[in-house]
Amino acid sequence: MMKRSAIGAIVVLLVAAAAVAAVSSVARLRRAGGSSLPTAAVAKGTFVDYLQLRGEVRPVKSVVLSAPMSGGSDLQIIELARNGSIVNAGDVVVQFDTTVQQRTLEQKQSELKQAESEIEKAVAEQRRREQAAQTALDQSKSASGRAKLDLEGADLRPRVDAEHLALKAADAEQGVRELEQKLESERASAAADVASARQKRDKALFDVRETERTMAGMTVRAPATGPITLLPNRRAASVFAQSAPEFRPGDRAFFGAPIAELPDLSRIQMACHVDEVDRARLQSGRGVLVRVDALPDRELKGTVSDISLIARPDFSSFPPTRNFDLIITMADNDGRLKSGMSGTARVELEQLNGVLVVPAGAIFQRGGRAVAYVVKGSNVEPRAITVLRRGRDQVAIARGLTEGDRVALKEPDDLAGSAR
What parts of the chain have a pLDDT lower than 70? 1-35, 71-73, 143-166, 168-172, 175, 237-243, 316-317, 414-420
Pairwise CA distance, residues 309 & 176, whole Å: 89
- Under 8 Å CB-to-CB from 266, ≥6 apart: which residues? 333
pLDDT (0 to 100) of residue 277: 80
Note whether 160 and 196 are same-domain residues: yes
> How many residues would you count in the chain?
420
pLDDT (0 to 100) of residue 53: 92
Note whether 43 and 81 are same-domain residues: no
Note whether 192 and 252 are same-domain residues: no
Note whether 81 and 152 are same-domain residues: no
Show the domain range for 133: 99-217
Question: What's the distance, CA 65 to chain centroid?
Answer: 10
pLDDT digits (tens, 9 = 90+) for 289-300: 999 999 989 999
Note whether 124 and 173 are same-domain residues: yes
Strands, sheet with 252-253, edge to edge from the N-terminal-most edge strand: 219-221, 92-96, 75-80, 252-253
Q: Provide the CB-side half-sphere exposure for 299 (13 A, CA).
A: 5
- Under 8 Å CB-to-CB from 111, ≥6 apart: which residues? 204, 207
Q: Is residue 2 included in any domain, yes or no?
A: no
Q: Is residue 329 included in any domain, yes or no?
A: no
Q: Which of 189, 217, 245 is the last residue of a domain?
A: 217
Note whether 72 and 134 are same-domain residues: no
Note whether 139 and 158 are same-domain residues: yes
Output the domain CATH number for residue 46. Answer: 2.40.420.20
Output the domain CATH number for residue 212. Answer: 1.10.287.620
Residue 374 β-bridge partners:
381, 407
Q: Which of 209, 232, 256 is the last residue of a domain?
A: 256
Note whether 207 and 112 are same-domain residues: yes
Q: Is residue 415 included in any domain, yes or no?
A: yes
pLDDT (0 to 100) of residue 153: 59
Note whether 246 and 378 are same-domain residues: no
Q: Is residue 9 included in any domain, yes or no?
A: no
Q: Is residue 143 included in any domain, yes or no?
A: yes
pLDDT (0 to 100) of residue 413: 74
Q: Cα angle vertex 81, ends 71, 336, to 5°?
A: 140
Q: Is residue 302 included in any domain, yes or no?
A: no
Q: How many domains does the chain have?
A: 3
pLDDT (0 to 100) of residue 169: 62
Note whether 125 and 190 are same-domain residues: yes
pLDDT (0 to 100) of residue 162: 57
Note whether 39 and 74 are same-domain residues: no
Question: What's the distance, CA 20 to chain centroid?
Answer: 72
Q: Is residue 345 included in any domain, yes or no?
A: no
- Under 8 Å CB-to-CB from 132, ≥6 apart: which residues? 186
Q: Which of 196, 228, 256 is the last residue of a domain?
A: 256
Note whether 145 and 237 are same-domain residues: no
Pairwise CA distance, residues 205 & 202, whole Å: 5
